């Protein structure tokens, strides 16, 4: 997530009996240890998905459950995207180029249906 070539770790924590649980990002130090990042990735998430959503060369994060998109601003800093069209409760985000235009699109499962959101340039 921080571009150093080492695999980092995201842990999402779904709501368990009404308790707000914090989603966490751990940065691999390259020596086999993970350091808890102070990055705010919200609470009560479910399955995370990772891809370069904004086509700037670094990895961004989509978290299901309370679906949110976190844009990698570099230097271990992520900002919550202004995209507010994600349906609450959408789980299992999948990322890929659905429409063949070279950028990353988002697919979400919501209950018994699915929703595809194509990535459009601003």
Q: What is the pLDDT of residue 113?
A: 82
Q: What is the pLDDT of residue 95?
A: 94
Cα-Cα-Cα-Cα dihedral sign, residues 67, 73, 75, 77: negative
Lateral strand order in the sheet of 91-96: 91-96, 105-110, 113-117
When pLDDT is averaged across residues 86-96 and rounded to a whole number, the result is: 85
pLDDT of residue 84: 63
> Residue 5's CB: how many other CB atoms inside 10 A?
7
What is the mean predicted confidence (pLDDT) over 3-18?
85
Kindly report the pTM of this predicted structure: 0.86
């Amino acid at each position: 997530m921080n571009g150093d070539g080492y695999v980092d770790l995201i842990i999402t924590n779904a709501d368990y009996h009404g308790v707000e649980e914090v989603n966490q990002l751990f940065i691999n130090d390259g020596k086999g240890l993970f350091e808890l990042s102070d990055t705010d990735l919200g609470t009560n998430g479910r399955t995370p998905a990772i891809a370069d959503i904004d086509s700037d060369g670094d990895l961004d994060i989509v978290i299901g459950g309370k679906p949110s998109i976190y844009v990698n601003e570099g230097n271990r800093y992520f900002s919550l995207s202004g995209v507010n069209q994600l349906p609450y409760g959408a789980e299992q985000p999948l990322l890929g180029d659905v429409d063949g235009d070279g950028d990353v699109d988002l697919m979400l499962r919501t209950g018994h249906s699915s929703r595809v959101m194509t990535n459009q340039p601003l």
